[in-house]
Structure 1
Amino acid sequence: MPRRLLAGLAVVCLTSATVPALTATATAESARWTVPQKAFPLGEAGQVKQKHKSVAAGIDMFTLRHGKKSDGYTVSLLMKGKDSGSRANAEAVAQSARDAGFPVVVSEFVRPGVADHPEGTGYMARIGSWSLSKRDEAAKMVKSLKDAGIASKVDFLGDDGTPTTGPWDVRVLTVDPKAFRGSYHASIGKTVAARETTSSMAKRAGAIAAVNGGFFNIHTAKNLRGEPVGVSVVDGKLLSEAVAGRSALILKGRTARITEVRTDISVVSADGEKTAVTGVNRAALPDELLLYTEEYGVKTPKDDGAEAVLDARGAVLELRPSGGKVAPGTRVLHGTGIMADWIWSHAWEQWTVKINTKVVDLRTGKAIPLTKDTSVIGGGVGLVRNGREHVTAKADGHANVNMILRRHPRTLAGVTRNGTLILATVDGRRPGTTVGASMIEAAQLMLWLGARQAINLDGGGSSTMIVKNKPANHPSDGTERGVGDALLITP
């Protein structure tokens, strides 16, 4: 019979005393936001250890540490490259290892349900348990299994998402809109297609502080992997379309809010023909009409399609085969398949085509004005809605064990009742030093910090907080990773 591991997390009761107070102060040196005095919501009960630093007028940074190391290592047998799966698959790989003389235990675990995805059950086949100082012994077991033709890996037990004592290492940056006189912006770096470090984007913009933004597409061509997965608006210009219904962070001046969005993009020819534009600044699929802007940074796809080069007013400057540059001051409509035929038929040279772009707030049903002081960053799972845990893993494309239950480094953004912006990085993948957080733990943390709305941004090795041109946290890759976009706090 399999052993059962409980993956449920302790319920944290939030009262008015738990939510941090936001108090006005007479000097920039005093924190406007204070760390909650009640117990840290993760791990064993107890107050968090904290350090405070005043970064600038209205901006404060807190270093929070809590918990102690207790988890060690195990060895997980792999099922088609994964460390968990169905009971039948777990039992099958376990039996293969037992036949080779290895003592394997099959364990059942429960992936907690979230707002839009029900609870699930999974199974792991594992061998042994080693302390933090004995990882080499676990690695020897992996080698022995490999020699027997059995695929496996060393797993740190703190990554599982089951109850742990930690420890946690968290950076929290708060921006009080009443005292801060600057503004928030998104940045895609030098181009949409290329990845760039958060610190590089921050330095070029003269930002006081910054965090990495949303997820980027690692499953496209290597030279396009800076492309945001989902919506991206930089200073009022749409640079990547939304995945309808997914979470986003809306920035305007020094205000921030969180909602779900969709994009509606269409083109109307001079002859009155109207059709949908299905994507912006990404690889093209069959029978699509895409829009490329000068921020794209590489040539358009060479795919036997057709292109109309437009000036800023929408006048067609040139019709050409696919695969060309997007010159400064121009845009390119790119059609494949039947949409290439649309271009040849309805985008003649010297005609004018009108491109209509909307980013729609799905909570209000209204379009978000794309003014020059507006930016939008796509998130990768909503965490808190209206002061309650509301993890939208399915809607945001992360309804799986690895994203919901497993602990990873996290970058989180939240907004309090009075409009204070809270940015947090939870370092992880550093056994014995910091374990990271699951999606549910991330939601609990943001509630504890006082967020009424909160969102998960890209995490893992991307999680980076920059303060005055220096990393404030410890990126898990050991060095700063190039990312698709970033959130900048500028003077």
Structure 2
Amino acid sequence: MSRRTLAGGLAIAATLTVITTLPASAGRLAVKFPSANFPLGAQPAATKTLTAVTQGIDLYDVKAGSSTDGYTVTVLMPSGRDYGALETAQAKVAEVEAAGEAPSLQKVIRPSVADAPSQTVYMVRVGLWSFKDKAKADETAKTLKDAGLKVKVDYLGDDGLKTTGPWDAKVVMIDAGTFRGSYAASLGTSVAKRETVSSMAKARNAVVGVNGGFFNIHTAKNLRGEPVGASVVAGRLLSEAVPGRSAVVLQGRTARITELKTDVTAISQDGDKLVLNGVNRAAATDEAVLYTEEYGAKTPAGGTDIVLDANGKAVAVRTSGAAIAKGTRVLHGQGTSAEWLDEHAWEGWTVKIDTKVTDLRTRKALKLTPDLNVIAGGVGLVRNGRVKITAKRDGHDSVNMILRRHPRTLLGVTRNGSLILATIDGRQPGVTIGANFHEAAQFMRWLGAVQAINLDGGGSSAMVVSNKLVNRPSDGVERGVGDALLVLPQ
């Protein structure tokens, strides 16, 4: 299935523009919103409303398409997924027929991406109802459940196949030539805690804020603000990289997309070295993890803690499971790593923490200066002006992530270094459907990005402008997230 088919076929033109201003000092930008060919859907017109936010920053409210998708009932496979191999799907067809309903077997091709080939799967579905007849789909689903089948009601706009929309997107364009502020990352009050973008933006008096990268939902509940990937805030490494995954490097008023690797090593006064496994996260068996005062939680129980002062002096050796005091860092070891600490990190000794963050595109180390910030991305979308989706490398190689439509938060950099931030709301049938990875990449290229990345999405997608949430999160309320990208005033 071609990318053009996935995008819904024909392009549409942006024909209506409404302009408002906030405040009067805002100027026009060298980076411009595209005037032709909205890239998604097949409807004849799109609208955009422009708000000039402040010098160098414009906000666009973009709406396109209309709702023509309806509902169906999808039969779940033994794996719990809504798709499977042909043989498995055929067996489900027989079960549905035995229940007295007429199923259809649907072949679905998950398109290829830069680092993974296409995948063919099969779905079993029952019925097709218009948008206003969802109740009938619910009735059929109940009948099938009563017959012992596991099913769900699906809105077809979420599938990722051909659609007419609609789409509701918010786009912030920050012009490199006229913007006089800076960019920063924020983890809120701590690494472990999740906070809303609104809260983080308000704390820093940010003009614009969007949610950052993915956070760890598979750890203890009180630690789920932890970023999955590299996080640097004001020159301090607060979360290690997942080697090779996409990230956004922010410095002053510049932003660029690359892949990163982090190396953190403890060097004892006696010269012995220990490679640390992580920063500010739960420790596994035999791991060594560095905790900073920004962690906001206790170190794990069942290991050894070495408390280091600002000069790297080991000021205390303690049983693990305590908080990190301000002005200190804690070296924590489990198993064999705890044994190394017992032998090489005695109280009163100096233990140097050597931290290196390497840009894998340039092969150069980043200088951890106070103006350096890093946010881990989710999936690379555009590189050097071409669609290059790195879903497998970035941990999202699945039908659900590549093909299905979800709310998206997107970041792009133009040829002249201007920054584009966008949210495409989704999971709101009849209002806005979101985008899949290919559509998100096309959307960012249309906006003028020559480099683009997918940040966290789904219910996490949030954009705050001038202390106001301007998009509509799919949860109905703004979700607490791990980190945020903030645009700070001059």
TM surpasses 0.5: yes
| Conservation of the 8 A alpha-carbon contact between 1:289 and 1:334 | yes
Q: Which amino acid aligns with 1:169?
A: D
Give 1:7 shift: 9.3
Aligned alpha-carbon RMSD (Å): 1.8
Give percent identity, aligned residues only: 59
User: What amino acid does structure 1 have at the position aligned with 2:101?
Assistant: F
Match of 1:469 in 2: 467
CA shift, 1:145, in A, is: 1.3
Task: Letter of the 1:458 partner, please give it.
Answer: D
Contact 1:12 1:444 in 2 (8 A): no
Deviation at 1:147, TM superposition (A): 1.0
How far is 1:12 from its partner? 9.1
For residue 434 of structure 1, what is the aligned residue in structure 2?
432
Moved more, 77-86 or 426-435: 77-86
**Partner residue in 2 for 1:411:** 409
Q: Specify the alignment match of 1:91 in structure 2.
A: 90
1:123-152 CA distance string (max 9 Å, x none): 101000111111121111111111111100
Quote how far apart the aligned CAs of 1:103 are. Answer: 1.1
Cα shift readout 1:406-435 (whole Å, capped 9, x = no counterpart): 000000000001110000000101111111
Aligned to 1:231: 230
Residue 213 of structure 1 corresponds to 212
Q: Does 1:185 align with 2:187?
A: no
Match of 1:455 in 2: 453
Runs of 4+ in 1 over 6 A off after TM superposition: 4-7, 11-14
Choose from 312, 315, 320 the match for 2:313: 315
* Structure 1 residue 339 corresponds to structure 2 residue 337: yes
Supply the distance in 2 between the matched residues of 1:326 and 1:60 (Cα, whole angstroms): 42
Contact in 1 for aligned 2:402/2:437 (Cα 8 Å): yes
- How many residue pairs match? The answer is 476
Aligned residue number for residue 20 of structure 1 = none
**1:66, distance to aligned residue in structure 2 (A):** 0.9
Is the Cα–Cα contact under 8 Å of residues 9 and 42 in structure 2 kept in the other structure?
A: no
Helix, strand or coil: the match of 1:101? Answer: coil
Partners of 2:229 and 2:2 lie apart in 1 by: 35
Q: Which structure 2 residues correspond to residues 363-402 of structure 1 after superposition, within 5 A? A: 363-402=361-400
Number of the residue aligned with 2:252: 253
Deviation, structure 1 residue 212: 0.4
- The Cα of 1:95 is off from its aligned counterpart by 1.4
The counterpart of 2:356, out of the listed 351, 358, 370, is 358
1:175 is matched with which residue?
174
For the pair 1:299 / 2:298, whether they are aligned, the reply is yes
Q: Give 1:168 shift.
A: 0.7
**Partner SS state of residue 68, structure 1:** coil
* Aligned twin of 2:202: 203
Deviation at 1:475, TM superposition (A): 0.6
Other-structure match for 1:23: none
Within 2, Cα distance between the matches of 1:96 and 1:473? 43
Contact 1:7 1:111 in 2 (8 A): no
**Are 1:39 and 1:45, in contact at CA under 8 Å, matched by a contact in 2?**
no
C-alpha displacement of 1:181: 1.2
The question of whether the paired residues in 2 share the 8 Å contact of 1:75 and 1:153 is answered with: yes
Residue aligned with 1:483, SS: coil
Indicate conservation of the 8 Å contact 1:287/1:338, yes or no.
yes
- Displacement after TM superposition at 1:177 (Å): 2.3
Distance 1:286 1:180 in 2: 48
Of residues 26, 36, 40, the one that matches 1:28 is 26
State TM-score, norm by structure 1. Answer: 0.94
Q: 1:475 to 1:214 in 2, by over 3 A?
A: same
Q: Distance in 2 between matches of 1:93 and 1:279?
A: 45
Residue 55 of structure 1: aligned partner: 53
Cα displacement string for residues 83-105 of structure 1 (whole angstroms, at most 9, x for unaligned residues): 11111221122211211212111
SS of the equivalent of 2:210 reads: strand
Unaligned runs of 5+ in 1: 15-25
- Closer, same or farther in 2 for the Cα pair 1:354/1:5, shift >3 Å? closer
Name the residue aligned to 2:482. 484
Output the amino acid matched with 1:114: V
1:76-155 aligned at under 5 Å gives the runs 76-79=74-77, 80-155=79-154
Aligned partners of 1:40 and 1:46 also within 8 Å:
no
- Alpha carbons 2:385, 2:445 under 8 Å: kept: yes
Greater displacement, 98-107 / 374-383: 98-107
**So what's the TM-score if we normalise by structure 2?**
0.94
Q: Give yes or no for contact 2:8–2:41 (8 Å, CA) kept in 1.
A: no
| Shift of residue 33, structure 1, vs aligned partner | 3.2
User: For structure 1, which segment, 163-172 or 32-41, has the greater mean C-alpha deviation from structure 2 after superposition?
Assistant: 32-41
Alpha-carbon distance in structure 1 between the residues aligned to 2:230 and 2:29: 34
SS at structure 2 position matched to 1:482: coil
Hey, what does 2:6 align to over in structure 1?
A: 9
Distance 2:454 2:425 in 1: 14
SS at structure 1 position matched to 2:259: strand
Retained in 1: the 8 A contact 2:184–2:485?
yes
Give the 3-state SS of the residue equivalent to 1:356 in structure 2.
strand
